[in-house]
Amino acid sequence: MEKKTITALVIDDEKAVVDFLVQFLGLKAVQAKTVEDCLSALEAARKESFDIVFLDVRMPRMNGVELLRELKKINPHSMYVMMTGYAVDDLLEQARREGARIHLKKPFDIEEISHIIEECRHEKTVKDES
């Protein structure tokens, strides 16, 4: 069976995080686009739809939950994955209420990221077949 191409948007202002995710996603045949700030994320989402959006909870100017809310208006069908290196349980809970499906703690567990990608790929296959 052919693997569905998955597209991802990675939104984080930490270069090391972005570099790691892009490299790992590439190994999993995921086409990734990266942005460092909220305005660039909104612009990217208006230009194309992404299957997965990896979104940092703590961002300059707008927190990740606020950005999530705006991104969901543009791309409601994307799978949103919140990322954090901090203890921000209140923001993660708010993100879940706003529609984030998953959250990842930094440093990342690559098995967890692999599972997220496969879940997304499966959902895309099901959607394309119906």
Instruction: Output the pLDDT for position 3.
Output: 62
Share of the chain above pLDDT 90, in %: 55
Beta bridge partners of 77: none
* 84 against 112, higher pLDDT: 112
What pTM, to 2 d.p., does this model score? Answer: 0.86
Q: Does residue 29 have a pLDDT over 80?
A: yes
Instruction: Output the pLDDT for position 88.
Output: 65
Q: Does residue 30 have a pLDDT over 90?
A: yes
Residue 30: partners with Cβ closer than 8 Å, 6 or more residues away: 6, 7, 8, 52, 117
Q: Does residue 35 have a pLDDT over 90?
A: yes
Q: Does residue 109 have a pLDDT over 70?
A: yes
* 77 against 88, higher pLDDT: 77
Instruction: Output the pLDDT for position 87.
Output: 61
pLDDT category at 1 given cuts 50, 70, 90 is very low
Instruction: Output the pLDDT for position 70.
Output: 95
Q: Does residue 113 have a pLDDT over 80?
A: yes
Domains of the chain: 6-129 (3.40.50.2300)
Q: Which of 84, 82, 79 is nearest to 119 (CA)?
A: 79
pLDDT category at 124 given cuts 50, 70, 90 is confident
